[in-house]
Amino acid sequence: MSYGTRCVLDRVDLDVYRGETLVLLGGSGSGKSTLLKHVLGLAKPGAGSITINGVDITRCSPSELGAVRRRIGVAFQASALFNSLTVEENVALPLRELTRLADSTIKLVVWMKLIAVGLSDAGSLYPPELSGGMRKRAAVARAMALDPEILILDEPSAGLDPIVSAGLDELILFLKRSFGITILVVTHELESAFRIADRVAMLYQGRLIAVDRKEEFVRNAHPRIRQFLDRQPDAMPRVAAEEFIEAYLRGPKDDN
């Protein structure tokens, strides 16, 4: 799909299997966020389709899309917690709106989710009062509120220190092992990625350049993948002296 004349995603063909953890790697501007928006139904592709649990979300009715969305839990990059609600109320929101459970039951479920993410003491705090790591955990708790089949995490380790990030990895592994849910993680943190992944996919400039089990992925010889995994920066542009002087004498480019 394209924004104006800029093609952001080009012929991306990706399958995610039930019960697996797929990590989507990619540098800035590779199209990861755009791909995620498409998967969540927040953007429409120029061509092609997106099928979740057998439903093509690019062509279905709003009610079918709603039914699909209820089976997916999402934790956004900035947590996207509702600032006017406490942590408990945030986690309770999907339950209140989308189920007919009694208040007391909802309280119990919320408490269970908060314990699972390690926030049992923070329930009555408001999002601005939480630390970055706590906010991420609260977002995961809210994503898990309806016991989804699919969990989508957008840059879960972004902005977290290594200890907190490792804690979050453990949480994801715990969810994976306990509930067997399908997890799609978008990240560029390699250590977390290879800890939690079953398979790894990589996007570069809008193209899917590799999808493999993680053991094979680390052996992939594609130059961009090697550059990513080995943390090699792009070569600094080297300007020869003559070119520089010529350009200098020519003067700045006249725009228009």
Partner 1 sequence: MTLLEQVGQAAIVRVEEAGALTMQAWSVFRKLPLVLPVVGIRRRWRSAVEQMLAIGASALPMTGIMSLCTGFILALQSASELRKFGALEFVIDLVAIGFTRELGPLITALSVSGRSASAISAEIGTMVATEEIDALRVMGLDPVEFTLAPKYLAALVTLPCLTILSTLCGISAGYMFLAFSMDMSARIYFQAVAEAVVLRDVAFMLVKSLVFATIIVHVGCLEGLRVRGGPEAVGHATTAAVVKSTFLVILADLLATAIFYLMGWSSLR
The residue ranges that bind partner 1 (CB under 8 A) are: 40-42, 66, 69-70, 72, 74, 76-78, 80-83, 93-94, 96-98
Q: Are 201 and 14 in contact (CB under 8 A)?
A: yes
Q: Which helix (H) or strand (E) holds 107?
A: helix 103-117
Output 78 or 245, the one with its CB closest to partner 1.
78
Question: Which CB atom, from 43 or from 209, has the smaller least distance to partner 1?
Answer: 43
CA distance linking residue 56 with residue 156, whole number of Å: 27
Distance in Å, CB of 138 to partner 1, minimum: 12
User: Which residue spans within the chain are E strands per DSSP?
Assistant: 2-3, 6-7, 21-26, 51-52, 55-56, 72-75, 150-154, 182-186, 199-204, 207-213
Please state the closest distance from residue 139 (CB atom) to partner 1, in A: 9
Closer residue to partner 1 (CB): 28 or 251: 28
Cα(first)–Cα(last) distance of the chain, in Å?
Answer: 30
Element of type H or E holding 39:
helix 32-39
Distance in angstroms (rounded) separating the CA atoms of residues 135 and 167: 13
Report, in Å, the least distance between residue 46 CB and partner 1: 20
Q: How far is the CB of 52 from partner 1 (least distance, A)?
A: 12
Nearer to partner 1, 31 or 228 (CB): 31
User: Quick one: 142 or 176, whose CB is closer to partner 1?
Assistant: 142
Contact 184, 152 (CB under 8 A): yes
Taking the complex as a whole, the smallest distance from the CB of residue 113 to partner 1 amounts, in Å, to: 15
In the complex with partner 1, which residue's Cβ is closer, 77 or 205?
77
Shortest reach from residue 248's CB to partner 1, in Å: 33
User: What whole-number distance in Å separates Cα of residue 139 and Cα of residue 137?
Assistant: 5
| 129 vs 240: CA distance, rounded Å | 54
